[in-house]
Structure 1
């Protein structure tokens, strides 16, 4: 594979392409001139060449002979456009198209031999039909991704995807505007991904992929990757107020800072978004969760060929928590369903970001993108999982904390051209990420009062990477994609209390990728994907266990299809397989190393989007998985907390000025320990939402768990000992899920 990639890229870049003429265009919304992302553009009479618009709404066709061309443009939720263009020899023709907003029409979905079909279609449908008011809503937009909150609302959500208990992000790479969210060598858990710094109303789209098949995504991309893109423009100013049960309140401000005239021309945009949130919570001991966010973003067209995007944001939150409670304490009446054993749990966290991206159209070289980012991050968490097992006098409460600066640079050069009559799309790039954590530790505490250090030190971690990716559009029916990525890590850890553990280590990993997309008929696309991925281990694992890989590999394969059944049903379906190597894991809750063997997972993902009527839509995602350890005996090889079945779905109404949705979430029961002797129970929850717009006012009502089910949101098999017990007990410890909750919303747009 390595030799093949070297030869491929040598051929691609050594050929001289005779480009006769080009068409370069932009697609925008007619009502506000905001660029449309992933609009489908087709040259009907040029071998049916197709393109998808980028974040600037741009598309391009190269190496065209002079003549007459017929252009067709489609975008879900907009009226289609067709145009006739006359192209002269060696001419570059610039065109702009404005699409009028209309109802969503699934029959307009185009099946092609391109990889954009699945996620662009599902993303477009879901984004237009489902309201997004919380960061939880953002994550739930990814088909098959489940979340659980288990520490007072302020802690990053626990994630589940493709038979993985991802913890807080170990096996899902998450980014916002191409800036990493996952934290390496985190005080609580590797890959910790806290998205609470994102204001949901600023998110423009979500790109996702399952498996490890994209060369431009590296660390933590094993089960999948999720990329959030914030808006470059906001169509109008907005003030929103929300209020709900359990003394829950939220206020939002979206404000354009540039004059309206300049904003309509869309040459420059500058807006500020701010969010304040408070909730007393539904626990017997109030969680007093409060959060404050500010986000400022500039986007400017500096010239026809240069675009600048820059953003600043800051976020801070604080909360109390009731923690994970043992089932036996609820059964004997010691505490209630929403009670706690140690009510001193909780924490606070903050993150400030700066992110700058410069996009340059470099002529025949292609599109050159350069980005720099920086984050300052602080984290403090108080927890007690085992109560009095280790210390019968003071209890087992712990304090995990860190302060870090994360900074990085990425560059990529994208180029589309013709070579030997074949359309070639290349993307070559690289980057650097550095994490400087000068104060990271684990301490033993009693009711948040320090007792003694368990671990304390500093971590410096550096990641240098490069990748190559090429897509060959071999025909209107067949596309071949191949990629290669290399990552090198340098881990350093210096202990403040154990000098003998101070050390450093470097290691690299090579990750090949390959994808084939085939358009079988006008309604059926088949694809086959295979590749290697990895997630890095905590730096403390890397320097302690030099005979073990710091970058355990994942090997993944998908065999799938995207198809339209009739005119109104879109289906994505994939059979998948994943192997994950043996690894050592640093367990932040006790400061120890834990050996986890190699695993094998396989399953099937199914997504359905159905337009029943022009205004009524149904959707369902069903995900089946069989996760097992390879080296353990049968019956004792279950992967704890890895879900074998998950499903979401619902009905959505979209008509004129109002919309509504009724949705379900189902997560099946799963093994909590390797021999399946302890079971984590499943749940089925129904939610509902309705919105109405009248002139400049928007009204909404949201209800969660409308049948008021008692359910366990997060569950763990934990060995713990209560104050009155003489020996520890291993059983399910859980955080109860939200009871019936309702909130109302009113917003003013101007």
Structure 2
């Protein structure tokens, strides 16, 4: 036995003694910065990989000889280079990919990092113009938003049969920094994206469902991460004007220019100011200021640092929602108001530091440290004179918050024969501390009639996870993950005498398992399964003593990505999601409402088709059947949960500078209460965008609601009382949607 073992060892050693290695870097020649996510294929052995955050890739154990190396990335021209691998040596290749018109025929469905592929969003952001921060969220297929405070308040979000309110079950981040605010004065998970300047968005990564180990709290319906530009192609100044006294100016200045590109550094400063009175009868006087600065540089050959700082301020008046009967009786116009003194003020200042290191053994180490200072004050009136027939029911929700956190991950890749093992381990820490989280009864935004809730919150979420990605063959990939989250919630009640400070603890374990089968470069099948959760407000957690306050969610997606034609890409999935009983804090009323168990299932279909070299069509169809479990049939509807939505349109990109899009969005009628006796009416709205771009300038026209349909953007079945009514009435209260709204913009480019 021993001689046989020595013989085997001798043969094995000799076989691998004359193998070579291929290592490369892919970059954007315009900015000189690395490109992550580039698909790199070795044609002859049929091996493939993708570039890491530093644009690097590597192939080990290659037999000496000549190889064809093909590199492809959405929005860049594919390149094929010939490289020579020699005995016991590392061949180094550096490749610049040139921007090119998008060709769907060049898009390849590949198995490496298959669960990270974002083909749909990558295509959309290349062909669709983004005109405002709301359009950023709409890049997620099937995601709908509604504004019901005139523009300053975070949008209400709908996805996969969920009324997500302002973010209860969807995790939103910007460059990895959390947007959602836990235990927020207005509601759990409140996510205000208005600090993002849309012109600076470079990409949108998303996934529906709770299937990734590195995504934790609020990842039930899914998650969305917005990536802002690391560098500006050119400095620019943009001026915009439109109907309803609308004005906006945006500027972005490249601070390093050619000197920065020569040293692989970039830095820019950008700012946005906008003002509008909007289309309501009462002038909105909405104003917003954004300032952003970002630096990216290399601390060494294999380490880069990205620093981002931003500040945001917004103040506005809003008309609030109005009941159907007020419009039908002539008490107010469709764009009128019952309480014209509603409005708000908010601000957020952020610091975000990201450090990425790739070791000589190709291990990737990431660190991120972030901090936010946040202030919020909102005046609303949902029930008018139901509770106080003399002064009205206006409320104030207010808080001041410090949020800071740290995330770290360590990723290694090991080749065992043709099997590639990628192991990622990570830790995450987040702490939210609020001062004066308040709910008060007010009048005219001036007089405080009663403080209903007033206290301080200190909430900690610490987590650890491990994620294993195994590429068994060129066709089969398995991804398994496990995540553990720990929460500690503390609430100090400032209205209690004596002052009370209590806390509660809870933890939850979330496993994930995903399977991918890539039959060929035109077809991939996948099965995603996983457990997720959302946390509840600290004002719920503490009274419950930490029990039953991390309701679990179990989900599964069975889907495919297919290219039946060279220029047609389809992503389809049948999905199911089950939620355990949960307790939800309703900030508007200062009460806790148990919602019970629920289940949702449906089908998502997204199609992208290139009609001509310059014309693209897209279509998204989304169905959902949301129901409460344990309730009587016919009385088990989930209020406001969408059951059918569709978006689509045509996008044009030409080499002569003309571009634009014509898009529609449709949401069907849906139940507004548990027995469907009150219905939230659906709508179909069409928007138009047209641009003409030259080297030094760009002209743009944006039209919302092209056909001027009358629609209700947000709707609620609310019990309310108008002045003089003998008793409250439960019916639809709504915020009107945008009428025909045209804006013109001019952008001037300079530098480079």
Answer yes or no: same fold by TM over 0.5: yes
Cα shift readout 1:102-151 (whole Å, capped 9, x = no counterpart)? 22111111122245478522122111111112110110111111100000
Q: Distance in 2 between matches of 1:72 and 1:106?
A: 17
Q: Distance in 2 between matches of 1:283 and 1:733?
A: 16
From 229, 244, 247, the equivalent of 2:245 is 247
From 330, 333, 337, the equivalent of 2:334 is 337
Q: Mark the CA change 1:119 to 1:331 in structure 2 (over 3 Å): closer, same or farther.
A: farther
CA deviation after TM superposition for structure 1 residue 725, in Å = 0.3
TM-score scaled to structure 2, two decimals? 0.95
From 346, 356, 371, the equivalent of 1:374 is 371
- 89-98 vs 645-654, which moves further: 89-98
Q: How does 1:425-444 map to 2 (within 5 A)?
A: 425-444=422-441
Q: Distance in 2 between matches of 1:468 and 1:623?
A: 32
Q: Which residue of 1 aligns with 2:380?
A: 383
Q: How does 1:509-548 map to 2 (within 5 A)?
A: 509-546=508-545, 548=547
Cα shift readout 1:516-565 (whole Å, capped 9, x = no counterpart)? 00012332110001000011000111111237411111100000000001
- 113-122 vs 209-218, which moves further: 113-122
Does residue 268 (structure 1) correspond to residue 265 (structure 2)? The answer is yes
From 403, 406, 410, the equivalent of 1:406 is 403
Q: Distance in 1 between matches of 2:320 and 2:250?
A: 29
Q: Distance in 1 between matches of 2:690 and 2:27?
A: 28
Q: Which residue of 2 aligns with 1:167?
A: 165
CA deviation after TM superposition for structure 1 residue 19, in Å = 12
CA deviation after TM superposition for structure 1 residue 55, in Å = 4.2
Q: Distance in 1 between matches of 2:708 and 2:70?
A: 49
Q: Distance in 1 between matches of 2:402 and 2:221?
A: 27
Contact 1:21 1:63 in 2 (8 A): yes
CA deviation after TM superposition for structure 1 residue 352, in Å = 0.3
Does residue 40 (structure 1) correspond to residue 49 (structure 2)? The answer is no
Q: How does 1:151-550 map to 2 (within 5 A)?
A: 151-258=149-256, 260-265=257-262, 267-364=264-361, 366-448=363-445, 449-498=447-496, 502-546=501-545, 548-550=547-549
CA deviation after TM superposition for structure 1 residue 287, in Å = 0.8
Q: Distance in 2 between matches of 1:623 and 1:60?
A: 39
Cα shift readout 1:311-358 (whole Å, capped 9, x = no counterpart)? 110000001010010010000000000000001111000000001111
Q: Which residue of 2 aligns with 1:633?
A: 632
Q: Which residue of 2 aligns with 1:134?
A: 132
Contact 2:161 2:600 in 1 (8 A): yes
Contact 1:118 1:572 in 2 (8 A): no
Cα shift readout 1:452-509 (whole Å, capped 9, x = no counterpart)? 1000000000011001001110001100000000000000001001258642111000
Contact 2:24 2:58 in 1 (8 A): yes
SS at match of 1:364: coil
Q: Distance in 2 between matches of 1:378 and 1:397?
A: 20
SS at match of 2:611: strand
Contact 1:237 1:254 in 2 (8 A): yes
Q: Which residue of 2 aligns with 1:557?
A: 556
Cα shift readout 1:278-328 (whole Å, capped 9, x = no counterpart)? 111100011111000000001001211110111110000001010010010
Contact 1:501 1:544 in 2 (8 A): no
Does residue 591 (structure 1) correspond to residue 590 (structure 2)? The answer is yes
SS at match of 2:181: coil
SS at match of 2:194: coil
Q: Which residue of 1 aligns with 2:99?
A: 101
Cα shift readout 1:377-404 (whole Å, capped 9, x = no counterpart)? 0000000000111111111100000001
Q: Which residue of 2 aligns with 1:9?
A: none
Contact 2:362 2:413 in 1 (8 A): no
Q: How does 1:13-24 map to 2 (within 5 A)?
A: 21-24=20-23
Q: Which residue of 2 aligns with 1:7?
A: none
Q: Distance in 2 between matches of 1:43 and 1:388?
A: 71
Q: Mark the CA change 1:20 to 1:360 in structure 2 (over 3 Å): closer, same or farther.
A: farther
Q: Which residue of 1 aligns with 2:567?
A: 568
- 76-85 vs 455-464, which moves further: 76-85
Q: Mark the CA change 1:405 to 1:89 in structure 2 (over 3 Å): closer, same or farther.
A: farther
- 362-371 vs 620-629, which moves further: 362-371
Contact 1:317 1:349 in 2 (8 A): yes
Contact 1:34 1:266 in 2 (8 A): no
Q: Distance in 2 between matches of 1:19 and 1:452?
A: 81
Contact 2:49 2:112 in 1 (8 A): no
- 400-409 vs 539-548, which moves further: 539-548
Q: Distance in 2 between matches of 1:293 and 1:22?
A: 48
Q: Mark the CA change 1:722 to 1:357 in structure 2 (over 3 Å): closer, same or farther.
A: same
Q: Mark the CA change 1:20 to 1:551 in structure 2 (over 3 Å): closer, same or farther.
A: farther
Q: Mark the CA change 1:19 to 1:375 in structure 2 (over 3 Å): closer, same or farther.
A: farther
CA deviation after TM superposition for structure 1 residue 68, in Å = 3.0
Q: Which residue of 1 aligns with 2:713?
A: 713
Does residue 679 (structure 1) correspond to residue 679 (structure 2)? The answer is yes
- 463-472 vs 419-428, which moves further: 419-428
Q: Distance in 1 between matches of 2:204 and 2:107?
A: 18
- 548-557 vs 292-301, which moves further: 548-557
Q: Distance in 2 between matches of 1:278 and 1:614?
A: 38
CA deviation after TM superposition for structure 1 residue 428, in Å = 0.7
Q: Distance in 2 between matches of 1:19 and 1:676?
A: 72
CA deviation after TM superposition for structure 1 residue 39, in Å = 2.1
Q: Distance in 1 between matches of 2:524 and 2:396?
A: 51
Q: Distance in 2 between matches of 1:111 and 1:119?
A: 9
Q: Which runs of 5+ in 2 are unaligned?
A: 1-15
Cα shift readout 1:623-643 (whole Å, capped 9, x = no counterpart)? 000000011111000000000
Contact 1:24 1:95 in 2 (8 A): yes
Contact 2:572 2:606 in 1 (8 A): yes
Q: Which residue of 1 aligns with 2:5?
A: none
Q: Which residue of 2 aligns with 1:646?
A: 645
Contact 1:41 1:72 in 2 (8 A): yes
TM-score scaled to structure 1, two decimals? 0.95
Matched residue count:
732
Q: Distance in 1 between matches of 2:130 and 2:408?
A: 31
